[in-house]
Amino acid sequence: MLRLTYVLAGAARRDAEANARFIAREQSVEVPEGTAPDVEARLVGRVERIEPAAPHTWRAVIAYEPELVGGDVTQLFNLLFGNVSLMPGVRVVDVEFPDTLLARLPGPRFGIAGLRDACGASTRPLFCTAAKPVGLDVAVLADQCYRFARAGADIVKDDHNVADQPPARFVERVRRCQEAVARANVETGGRTLYFPHVSGPLSELTARLDTVERAGCRGVLVNLLPQGVDAARTIGARGLMVLAHPTMSGVFFAADHGVAPDVLLGTLFRVAGADGVIYVNAGGRFTTWTLEQCQAINRRLRAPLGPVRPACPVPGGGVDADRVPYWVEQYGADTMFLIGASLLRQPDVEAATRRVVETLRRYGA
């Protein structure tokens, strides 16, 4: 069974029980009792447990038949927080998958081990940076990529705001940024990877991935929520690595509504097929995230999960280059640090990047 744990607002146990029964029906068959008795007997979610949680909240466990999902990630999100999103006071705080369902969902094709292999870094923390901002000419972005690669960053990604706008249209950008990184690799003997941001019309996704492959890129950045939660499957099926950006995810993170950040970014993005998941680091420029929250995401990304490979935590959004040792201490080596803007502000971007590279190499075996 697919088991979801909810926190439900409500003073009295009988309200919580009624809400749980409503959710169990709504998120499965979505018809009133008696409409299709045979199907209802088989498929209506089962409320397995209700217990008091914090004051005025209840913890409810509902078990759903995995066949409600089939193999679609879209339908998984629909079951997890589809219509129920329109009810107040409902928050998903845990999810437990049967292995049979996990086997039908994409999961990371590469995961931590695959990223390490591609970067030629078997034990040390990984390092990702970003060419930005939107609005720069493609030649300037390519030059940033070149400098980052010269300095030995593991992955240089596009900024998640850079889509197909002039003056850095997608096709030319991919070609020139990848060329710049490849040139630096030849010069240094390095293995830096360039991950372009793939977005835009779904009908053009295949063509864009063709462009990415032809250029010789090994992976891409994707804004998983606006792009569509099944996008990572399509990218992974092409043999490309998936770095998932958390843009728009904050809509899920109300205190008493939505899906807990560690469940969404840690478990769901992982089963959806992300090899690396970017999230906003504690102490970054979005100040509401705690260290504990980030560690909970890390745990879910790396924990054993049936046949699903571990995915790599990618804390970013204001990670300061000087504080890298502190964060390695907190998060351990199976982490990719995303450090972008603080490097671009330095007078010598290449030297600043190299200092981070050297810091992280000290943590290698």
Chain residues 184-223 in contact with a second copy, contact rule CB under 8 A: 199-203, 205-206, 223
Q: Of 6-14, 185-193, 255-263, 295-303, which segment contacts a second copy by CB under 8 A? A: 255-263
Q: CB nearer to a second copy: give 249 or 298.
A: 249
CA distances from 122 to 113, 299, 321, 353 (A): 8, 20, 22, 20
Query: Quick check: 5 binds a second copy (CB under 8 A)?
Result: no
Q: Does the protein bind a second copy through residue 296 (CB under 8 A)? A: no
Q: Does 30 bind a second copy (CB under 8 A)?
A: yes
Stretch that binds a second copy, among 55-63, 254-262, 306-314, 353-361 (CB under 8 A): 254-262
The DSSP symbol for 317 reads S
3-state secondary structure of 114: helix
Q: Are 226 and 258 in contact (CB under 8 A)?
A: no
Among 37, 55, 329, 345, indicate the residue that binds a second copy (CB under 8 A).
345
Are 217 and 118 in contact by the 8 Å Cβ rule? The answer is: no
Shortest distance, CB of residue 274 to a second copy, whole angstroms?
15
Q: Is 317 in the site for a second copy (CB under 8 A)?
A: yes
Stretch that binds a second copy, among 12-20, 49-57, 232-240, 296-304 (CB under 8 A): 232-240
With binding defined as CB under 8 A, does residue 326 bind a second copy? no
Told to check if 351 binds a second copy by CB under 8 A, we report: no
Binding residue count for a second copy, defined by CB under 8 A: 85
Spell out the residues 6+ positions from residue 53 whose beta carbon is closer than 8 angstroms to its own.
7, 59
d(CA 301, CA 269): 9
Under 8 Å CB-to-CB from 127, ≥6 apart: which residues? Answer: 153, 154, 155, 336, 337, 339, 356, 357, 360
Q: Can you read off the two tokens belonging to residue 211?
A: 């462009």
- Which string of x and - marks every residue 79-118 that binds a second copy (by CB under 8 A)? x-xxxxxxxx------------------------------
How far, in Å, CA of 18 to CA of 28, rounded?
Answer: 16
For residues 111-170, which are near a second copy according to CB under 8 A? Answer: 132-136, 159-161, 163-166
Local structure of 223: helix, strand or coil: strand
Q: Is the dihedral of CA 269, 275, 278, 279 positive or negative?
A: positive
Q: Which of 247, 309, 333, 355 binds a second copy (CB under 8 A)?
A: 247
The alpha-carbon radius of gyration of the chain (Å, integer) is: 22
268 touches 300 (CB < 8 A): no
Other Cβ atoms closer than 10 A to 6 = 27
Among 111, 125, 152, 228, binds a second copy (CB under 8 A): 228
Q: Is 37 in the site for a second copy (CB under 8 A)?
A: no
Distance CA 333, CA 325 (A): 11
* Contact between 333 and a second copy per CB under 8 A: no
Is the preceding omega at residue 133 within 30 degrees of 0, hence cis?
Answer: yes
254 binds a second copy (CB under 8 A): yes
Binding marks (x or -) toward a second copy, 56..75, rule CB under 8 A? -----------xxxxxxxxx
Q: Which of 18, 54, 286, 325 binds a second copy (CB under 8 A)?
A: 286
Bridge partners for 221 per DSSP: 197, 243
Stretch that binds a second copy, among 7-15, 251-259, 307-315, 350-358 (CB under 8 A): 251-259
From candidates 12, 36, 139, 207, binder to a second copy by CB under 8 A: 36
Is 42 near a second copy (CB under 8 A)?
yes
CA 259 remoteness from chain centre: 14
Taking contact as CB under 8 A, which single stretch among the options 187-195, 295-303, 326-334, 337-345 is the one that binds a second copy?
A: 337-345
